[in-house]
Amino acid sequence: MDEFSALSSEALQGLREELRKEYARFRERGLKLDLTRGKPSAEQLDFSNELLELPGAGEYRAADGTDCRNYGGLHGLAELREIFSPLLQVPAAQLLVGDNSSLSLMHDTVMHAMLFPLPGGSTRWVDVERPAFLCPVPGYDRHFSICEKFGIEMIPVEPTESGQLDIDEIERLAASDARIKGLWFVPKYSNPTGSTVSVRQAERLAAMTAAADDFRIFWDDAYSVHHLTDHHVIVAPIVELCEQAGQPDRVFVFGSTSKVTFAGAGVSFLGSSPANLQWYLGHIAKRTIGPDKVNQLRHARFLKDAEGVQKLMERHRDNLAPKFAKVQDILAEELGDTGIAGWTEAFGGYFVSLDVLDGTAAEVIRLAKEAGVALTPAGSTYPYGKDPRDRNIRLAPSFPPVADVDTAMRGVVLCVKLAAVQKLLEG
């Protein structure tokens, strides 16, 4: 297939007819497929089914003798902190174990910062006129929802022309305006582009000057062990870098086992400086007498050690890699030489970021929906749901079986082409 932009009007009209017929046939199949969320499949959840019987009869004592059934232990089980310390690159003593959702830890950190000054800060954010966060785009919609909820303005930071993180712009903005309080950041296999921060970039984030005395990086290490290839990308140890840069309180690190064990019944982690952790623990001590330690024990027994986590992740990779390969193959085969789309290929994570012809993403998503293929809503990878070029679509192939990924992607590329031809004929 030729580049669409090189086609004459007649050729485009002919192509449109052809695509419309193909689309009508696809729609007639009455499919119901879903590529919306980074949700593990039932097969992946099966890998951790041992948890359904753990910790097991009479087993309720942590390594230090704690009766996990009773109240207490705000910090989380030591043995579980030990397992995840090397994976999240946070000293075990500076790691807190939470319940089933790292999103909750992020939300509660922001919510507390709204009402209580952070270490080093002099004002609670609720008293700041128009507090703001930097949001590299495309990014994760649930991060953006937290800002929107609390009325924190989101300042999108577009990638550079070569598609890299625009670290210069982040430095410039952070230094220029004291109302900029934070940066949402997925350091590894990011949602949705799959990109990973370089050591040099991480060093700059750790060392940069921020106008706000309470500026924080929300380092969401959601995919720390979620490799899709043999190339296990390594990320800079941000807590250590911040400490070395003399800004120990700059970062909150988040992680979870939502895509390691059970998405809805895992454990979560918050890692930070001693001062930040003390701030957080002090506030949540009024909220709870402790997390679910039995579930923490269950996880410690099941995962055993960091190596145990890595081994489990191999199984996830074996399951996921063919789905991601399928997405890549179909994109390359169907859109490779059309000039109407670009996409990412990641070493890990849960997403493929697809850029379609400017001004057609919403239409692609609409067409796909009509044909029974659910995609993440248009704009959701941008703050306020507003993709300025209306071109980014997040593809999440983890949940459906590979045959369904195939079918769904056939539909997606068809919609991408149809929307592009329509657009080109309009223009």
Q: Which of 248, 397 has the CB closer to a copy of itself?
A: 397
3-state SS track over the chain: CCCHHHCCHHHHHHHHHHHHHHHHHHHHCCCCEECCCCCCCHHHHHCCHHHHHCCCCCCCECCCCCECCCCCCCCCCHHHHHHHHHHHCCCHHHEEEECCCHHHHHHHHHHHHHHCCCCCCCCCHHHCCCCEEEEECCCCHHHHHHHHHCCCEEEEECCCCCCCCCHHHHHHHHHHCCCEEEEEECCCCCCCCCCCCCHHHHHHHHHCCCCCCCCEEEEECCCCCCECCCCCCCCCCHHHHHHHCCCHHHEEEEEECCCCCCCCCCCEEEECCHHHHHHHHHHHCCCCCCCCHHHHHHHHHHHCCHHHHHHHHHHHHHHHHHHHHHHHHHHHHHHCCCCCCEECCCCECCCEEEECCCCCHHHHHHHHHHCCEECCCCCCCCHHHCCCCCCEEEECCCCCCHHHHHHHHHHHHHHHHHHHHHHHHHC
| x-marked contacts with a copy of itself along 274-313 as a string, rule CB under 8 A | ---------x--xxxxxxxxxx------------------
Closest distance of CB 199 from a copy of itself, Å: 32
Closest distance of CB 300 from a copy of itself, Å: 14
Residues 25-54 that bind a copy of itself (CB under 8 A): 37, 39-40, 42, 45, 48-49, 51-54
Q: Which of 24, 289 has the CB closer to a copy of itself?
A: 289
- Contact between 156 and a copy of itself per CB under 8 A: no
Residue from 145, 198, 201, 310 binding a copy of itself (CB under 8 A): 145
- Contact between 198 and a copy of itself per CB under 8 A: no
Q: Which of 263, 424 has the CB closer to a copy of itself?
A: 263
Q: Which of 145, 201 has the CB closer to a copy of itself?
A: 145
3-state SS track over 274-324: HHHHHHHHHHHCCCCCCCCHHHHHHHHHHHCCHHHHHHHHHHHHHHHHHHH
Q: In terms of C-beta density within 10 A (0-12 exposed, 13-18 middle, 19 or more buried), how is residue 27 classed?
A: middle
Looking at the DSSP assignment, which residues form a beta bridge with residue 180?
Answer: 132
Closest distance of CB 98 from a copy of itself, Å: 10
Stretch that binds a copy of itself, among 21-29, 93-101, 154-162, 229-237 (CB under 8 A): 93-101
- Contact between 101 and a copy of itself per CB under 8 A: yes
Cα–Cα distance for residue pair 346/183, rounded to 1 Å: 22
- Contact between 257 and a copy of itself per CB under 8 A: no
Q: Which of 109, 247 has the CB closer to a copy of itself?
A: 109
Q: Which of 46, 307 has the CB closer to a copy of itself?
A: 46
Q: Which of 22, 292 has the CB closer to a copy of itself?
A: 292
- Contact between 263 and a copy of itself per CB under 8 A: yes
- Contact between 339 and a copy of itself per CB under 8 A: no
Closest distance of CB 158 from a copy of itself, Å: 25
Residue from 1, 5, 14, 56 binding a copy of itself (CB under 8 A): 56
Closest distance of CB 303 from a copy of itself, Å: 16
Closest distance of CB 191 from a copy of itself, Å: 14
Cα–Cα distance for residue pair 107/188, rounded to 1 Å: 20
Number of residues that bind a copy of itself (CB under 8 A): 57
Closest distance of CB 154 from a copy of itself, Å: 14
- Contact between 265 and a copy of itself per CB under 8 A: yes
Q: Which of 42, 403 has the CB closer to a copy of itself?
A: 42
- Contact between 383 and a copy of itself per CB under 8 A: no
Q: Return the closest-CA partner of residue 299 out of 26, 34, 95, 48.
A: 48
Q: Which of 116, 402 has the CB closer to a copy of itself?
A: 116
Closest distance of CB 258 from a copy of itself, Å: 7
Q: Which of 206, 222 has the CB closer to a copy of itself?
A: 222
* Chain residues in the site for a copy of itself (CB under 8 A): 37, 39-40, 42, 45, 48-49, 51-60, 67-73, 99-101, 103-104, 107-108, 111, 114-115, 126, 142, 145-146, 148-150, 258, 262-265, 283, 286-295
